[in-house]
Amino acid sequence: MSLGVLIRCTGCGAEVADEAGATHPYMRSAPGCWRLFGEVLAREFSDPRARGSHRLAVDAYAVQHPGSRDRRNRQSVALHLMSLALVLEDSATHEQARRMLARRARARTEFPWLTPPVDPSWVTVADVHDTRDPAGYPEMVRSWAVSAWEGWSEHHLLVRAWLEGEAA
């Protein structure tokens, strides 16, 4: 655990505790950021008011931690951007987005590397983690997801094309 020293997460840029610990196998993050995400997920599974936010939280975290150019990372970013587009722009349900993710993941499409946003000023997992008002939690997660989606605006047309089956 940290002694109060903060660092910037290598993925999302959030200020997080400088600590040793686990990280995701391929999404690049600081251990302190990965821990915060785990605590956010625990809240979503333990508080009924937060459960409906899970899809957006996972998508936002994934696209803010794009990792490297390997196939898993490219696929992760592409699929989670598609999910964000479906839910935020097309008003798809979280279940519809989940089914699309599963179908596209099984297809194992080769997606190109998308250049991540440079120095984005977006809402991060740290902001969501610090939300203390249970009633305001879903709106904070939505703000996080909108912020993450907007950060990738350079690639929105390509993501839309993937969703429409015009490119893969």
Q: Is the residue at 64 inside a domain?
A: yes
CB contact at 8 A, 16 and 126: yes
CB contact at 8 A, 67 and 28: yes
Q: Is the residue at 50 inside a domain?
A: yes
**CA dihedral over 39, 4, 13, 109, signed as positive or negative:** negative
Q: Is the pLDDT of residue 17 over 50?
A: yes
d(CA 83, CA 114) in angstroms, rounded, equals 16
Structural domains in the chain (count): 1
Q: Is the residue at 17 inside a domain?
A: yes
Task: Phi first, then psi: give them for residue 140, nearest 5 degrees.
Answer: -65, -40
Structural domain boundaries, residue 79:
6-163
Q: Is the residue at 1 inside a domain?
A: no
pLDDT in tens, 2-13: 458 999 999 999
pLDDT in tens, 94-108: 999 999 988 888 887
Q: Is the residue at 168 inside a domain?
A: no
Position 3 scores a pLDDT of 59
CB atoms < 10 A from the CB of 27, how many?
24
- For the record, the structure tokens of 27 come out as 């999404």
Q: For a pLDDT cut of 70, what percent of the chain falls above it?
A: 96
Q: In terms of pTM, does the model score above 0.85?
A: yes
| DSSP secondary structure of 34-75 | HHHHHHHHHHHHH-TTTGGGHHHHHHHHHHT----SSHHHHH
Question: Residue 15: which H helix or E strand, with range?
Answer: strand 15-17
